Amino acid sequence: MNKENILVAIDIGTAKISVILAEVDDLGDTHIIGFGEANSNGIEKGIITKPGELYKSIKEAVSLAEASSGFKISSAIINVGGPHLDFKNEKESLIFSTSQKEIDENDITALIEKVSTKVNKENYEVIHVIPKWYVLDEEDKVIDPVGLIANKLEGEFHIILNKSTNLNNIKRIVESAGIKIADFVATPIASANAVLYDEEKEMGVAVVDIGAGTTDIVIYKDGSPHFIKSLPIGGNQITMDIAHRFKLSKLEAENLKLQCSLASTEYILENDFIEVEIRGSEEKVQIERFEVVDTIEARLSEILEKIREQLENSGYYQKLNAGVVLTGGVANTGYIKDFAEKILEKDVRIGKPRNYKGFIDKLSFPQYATSIGIILFKKNALQKNEIESFNQPINLTEKFKSIFEKIKNMF
């Protein structure tokens, strides 16, 4: 297999590790060609608690993805998130010595380097510098200034940082599994790339990825991210509430939760009793569906209240004209859209990953937004770098040829 056009993503989550291999074709379409998944152990609420366990989980997921694709994975793009993420919105400018300077890619690179140095924060590393817009000669706001003439180029950027120690720890664990890290992508940015439509990014939208241990939020406005936040809350809390209330193991509680997956008791059509087998004993217990859903509702409403609080604190709540897109495993909960609309008082839709081919039956679920999003984010970033033709029509095949060059260089 030609390995030059293949991107590998590893989503290190609290519940699962997902590994996806994708091939980018001559037209820039993304084809998933391999998938592997393992239960995740050793990471809680975005914090690595047992490196040895995490290593084993990554190894297992990688082996399954290799078996599924017939491709040996030597390098991958990894997500980072949790409490180690931080962001800044920052402006920076370049003043040219000539007033008739035609702006080229090198100027953009210089500006990005300048702004990255400016936000330098002790013990943090910059992982993304995402342009919001540029201003030419303090007048014209443009999205892509390359090829335009100006004396002064100013840019406003959304910059995402992550704690260096966390990056180094992930690096050590992944590398000890024999995999080089080609790049890091912030979890909320990855998820947003898989589920959002461009119009939503323009209008103002929040993507909320509710996983097992973390809830990752990103707000887009005018086409780019403006705010990110990771909260240490998620589906595991619901599972643990059920485990405590009905005195079940975590696994039994998780199964019971999935069997009764409704956001609120108001959506129960028929109340009944569910028989739960208790592991390691002959005993079976009867649990009322209403009580399980009541437990889910209590914690889910608390999680959604906390999300609302963050959206309000961000200062963008009133600007979310396209509402909220819920993704991550918890977004599978029955009627969560209706329930969340009441608490958030915004339009809500469930975000499933889009814009890829292959493995659709397996991956078209909210819990794969991050892994598919890692691939799409990287592909788009490589693609964007190629858009230098100002007046000329873009030759897609030529453009992606050079993207392949870049992908090749990552391995």
Ligand X SMILES: Nc1ncnc2c1ncn2[C@@H]1O[C@H](COP(=O)(O)OP(=O)(O)OP(=O)(O)O)[C@@H](O)[C@H]1O
Judged by the rule CB under 6 A, the positions of this chain that interact with ligand X are: 13-16, 40, 211-214, 234-236, 239, 254, 257-258, 261, 328-330, 332-333, 367
Answer with the entry of ligand X, Mg ion, none that 349 interacts with (C-beta below 5 to 8 A by kind).
none
84: phi then psi, degrees, rounded to nearest 5: -85, -5
Per DSSP, the three-state class of 153 is strand
Answer with the entry of ligand X, Mg ion, none that 310 interacts with (C-beta below 5 to 8 A by kind).
none
Answer with the entry of ligand X, Mg ion, none that 15 interacts with (C-beta below 5 to 8 A by kind).
ligand X
For the bound state, the minimum distance from the C-beta of residue 67 to Mg ion, rounded and expressed in Å, comes to: 23
Residue 227's DSSP bridge partners are 219
Q: By CB under 5 A, how many residues form the interface with Mg ion?
A: 3
Taking a C-beta distance cutoff of 8 angstroms, is the pair 380, 361 a contact?
no
Answer with the entry of ligand X, Mg ion, none that 166 interacts with (C-beta below 5 to 8 A by kind).
none
* Pairing outcome for strands 205-210 and 324-327: parallel
Of 34 and 234, nearer to ligand X (C-beta) is 234
Select from 6, 13, 112, 407 the one that contacts Mg ion (CB under 5 A).
13
Of 166 and 236, nearer to ligand X (C-beta) is 236
Measured between alpha carbons, how far is 408 from 5 in angstroms, rounded to an integer? 7
Half-sphere exposure of 62 (CA within 13 A, CB side): 24
Using the rule CB under 5 A, is 211 a contact of Mg ion? Answer: yes
For the bound state, the minimum distance from the C-beta of residue 225 to Mg ion, rounded and expressed in Å, comes to: 17
Of 69 and 236, nearer to ligand X (C-beta) is 236
For the bound state, the minimum distance from the C-beta of residue 202 to Mg ion, rounded and expressed in Å, comes to: 26
Six-digit token string for 339: 């329930």
Measured between alpha carbons, how far is 86 from 126 in angstroms, rounded to an integer? 9
For the bound state, the minimum distance from the C-beta of residue 366 to ligand X, rounded and expressed in Å, comes to: 7
324: phi then psi, degrees, rounded to nearest 5: -125, 135
User: What number of other Cβ atoms are within 10 A of residue 38's Cβ?
Assistant: 19
Residue nearest to Mg ion (CB): 211
- Give the amino acid at 299: R
- By CB atoms closer than 10 A (0-12, 13-18, 19+), residue 78 is buried
Segment near Mg ion (CB under 5 A); pick from 164-172, 251-259, 364-372, 383-391: 364-372
Residues within the interface to Mg ion (CB under 5 A): 13, 211, 370
